[in-house]
Amino acid sequence: MSDAQCFSMWGDSNVGWLHNEGENGAGSLLTMWHKEVFLYQSHLIGKGFIVFFGKHMQTDTDIVVVNVYSACNLQDKKTLWGELSSIKTTHQKCPWCFIGDFNVVRRTNERKGKSTRGSQTSEIRLFNEFIEGNLLLDIPIVGMKYTWFKANGSAKSRLDRVLVSEEWIQKWPMCKQYIQPREVSDHCAVIVKSMLKDWGPQPFRSIDAWLMESNFKELVKDKWNSYVVRRDGITNFKDKLKILKEDLKV
């Protein structure tokens, strides 16, 4: 990797990056950040991970983000989970976010078209022990249920996910993971986003997820035009917002 490649991918030159080359091109990982948003502090690179320590500038919060790619065999998975668990003990009080391809599901209904007997059942149990042992939370998903699809559509699984610490949730309580449509890869991209919007003491709050509904704008327009409020100016506007809020909850 080079600065020029990373700047081109991001579309901005004010970008930092870390690259884990993997082994013979397999398991390569790239972590990028915008320098106006995150302040880089340090990092650790190992087989299947990049751990990035930095500060979220807007909230002045020290955070840890882990970019993960797990190998297919169980022994490599156990080694990876053990290393990440050891690293996490050194920064327990920071908000942590683990994101990437874990190459394992948490439960049998996250896999379709492939058996989960034998060693795969052991993988599920050990993966859940890693999550629970590190007090991680699997934040809610929005979008598709599966993140990996076999080319012919005969199998699909949720191999990619976001796991965060309790400290992360305390900082961003409305955090969700958005599964994007599959395009160039057999995996779907995953976007982590906090939905909390602070509009001050106003009587109305907007939630970004509403905008993902195809009929949202028409619904707001139709509802707004149907309201009959017999007051003037800003009071009329405020009352309409209160009614709209209740309709949007429904």
Of the candidate ranges 137-141, 158-162, 202-206, the one whose mean pLDDT is the lowest: 202-206
Please give the helix or strand (H or E) that residue 216 lies within, else none.
Answer: helix 216-226
Residue 80: C-alpha distances to residues 51, 126, 159 (Å): 12, 12, 15
For residues 157 and 223, membership in a common domain is answered with no
How far apart are alpha carbons 188 and 142 in whole angstroms? Answer: 13
The alpha carbon dihedral of 162, 163, 168, 171 has a sign of: positive
Domain coverage including residue 114: 3-194
Report yes or no on 103 lying in a domain: yes
Please give the pLDDT value at position 24: 76
pLDDT confidence bin for 202, thresholds 50/70/90: very low
Report yes or no on 67 lying in a domain: yes
Number of H helices, E strands in the chain: 6, 14
Residue 7 gets which letter from DSSP? Answer: H
pLDDT of 199 strictly over 50? no
For residues 226 and 186, membership in a common domain is answered with no
How far apart are alpha carbons 102 and 204 in whole angstroms? Answer: 39
Portion of the chain with pLDDT greater than 70, in percent: 92
pTM: 0.74
Please give the pLDDT value at position 248: 81
Q: Is 3 helix (H, G, I), strand (E, B) or coil?
A: helix
pLDDT of 86 strictly over 90? yes
For residues 123 and 226, membership in a common domain is answered with no
pLDDT tens string 105-128? 999 889 888 655 555 788 999 999
Burial class (CB in 10 A: 0-12, 13-18, 19+), 195: middle
pLDDT tens string 88-98? 998 878 999 99
pLDDT of 73 strictly over 50? yes
Strands 136-138 and 111-112: unpaired
User: Residue 92 is part of a domain; what is its CATH number?
Assistant: 3.60.10.10
164 phi and psi, to 5 degrees? -130, 160
Tokens of 156: 């699909």
* Mean pLDDT to the nearest integer, 5-21: 93
Tally of domains within the chain = 2
How far apart are alpha carbons 58 and 76 in whole angstroms? Answer: 37
Other Cβ atoms less than 10 A from the Cβ of 233: the count is: 7
Please give the pLDDT value at position 98: 96
CA-CA-CA-CA torsion for 36, 37, 41, 42, nearest 10 degrees? -110
For residues 34 and 117, membership in a common domain is answered with yes
Report the Cα–Cα distance between both ends of the chain, in Å, rounded: 49
